[in-house]
Amino acid sequence: MAKVAVITGASRGLGEVLAQFLAGQGYALVLTARHAEALEKVAHSLASYNIPVKTVVGDVADAAHRRAVVDAAQSLGDLSVLVNNASDLGVSPLLPLAEYPLETLERVFKINVVAPLALAQTALPALKANGGLVVNLSSDAAKGGYPGWGGYGLTKAALDLVSLTLANELRDAGVSVVSVDPGDMRTVMHQDAFPGEDITDRPLPDVTVPFWAWLFGQDRATVSGGRYAAQAESWEAANATV
């Protein structure tokens, strides 16, 4: 059966780059996002790869949607990669934590922390059966303490801990988990963080392709538990031995 990857937030930006990359690696794909037209455009762009592609439109915060995503993946073959790329920036323009609306913070935690964990839980039986890899997209905001980025950064710091804990807990089950900081990029989300500013000095998301080629070329158990910066000059597997 086909090897299958699920990518959330796949309708643009880094999600679209990941879809192109994994299609090139021969994965059948399940792509999900909230915006149907943009998602279908990405799916159609993959036609030349001659791999099965399914789109599931919806919100990763919704349990029924997550179940539909995993069901779609299992209908294609062996679910072996889950990329939790979908994220919510929160307020725009950015606000300091002392002024941050708590109802928005709850929503951002639901999208950026609870949903990735819940999707991993839903997909876990298939991931265990196929020696799966979970990739959780983080941010340097998780570690930087940057003014204005606290709401978003809190969620990414929590997701980093989710990733490391799952990696430790699931190692014996053959499931690997990594956290990836893609770095600053010229994306819609980054523009939303800086409304009205020129962000053309940031690289496009395809700057991360060398990292994805490295990551997917490694033994999954060796990279598991690592937190990687995609725009670093080089990478070292989390469990590499000298």
Give pLDDT tens digits for 37-66.
999 999 999 999 999 999 999 999 999 999
User: Edge to edge, what strands does the sheet with 227-229 contain?
Assistant: 53-57, 28-33, 2-8, 77-84, 133-137, 176-181, 227-229
Q: pLDDT exceeding 90 applies to what percent of the chain?
A: 88
Residue range 150-165: average pLDDT?
97
Catalytic residues: 152
Segment (H or E) for 166: helix 150-170
Diameter of the chain measured on Cα atoms = 52
Given a cut of 50, whether residue 242 has pLDDT beyond it is no
DSSP state of 10: T
Q: What is the pLDDT of residues 185-235, one digit of tens each?
A: 787 777 766 777 777 887 889 999 999 999 999 999 999 999 999 999 999
Query: Average pLDDT, whole number, for the chain?
Result: 94
Q: What is the pLDDT of residues 163-192, one digit of tens each?
A: 999 999 999 999 999 999 998 878 777 776
Q: How confident is the model at residue 240 (pLDDT cuts 50, 70, 90)?
A: low
Q: What is the pLDDT of residues 7-19, one digit of tens each?
A: 999 999 999 999 9
- Return the amino acid letter for 130: N
Residue range 17-30: average pLDDT?
98
Q: Which domains does the chain have, with CATH numbers?
A: 2-229 (3.40.50.720)
CA dist 24 → 14, 15, 48, 229 (Å) = 15, 14, 10, 22
Where b means 16+ CB within 10 Å and e means fewer, 10-38 reads: bbbbbbbbbbbbbbeeebbbbbbbeeeeb
**Is this prediction's pTM over 0.75?**
yes
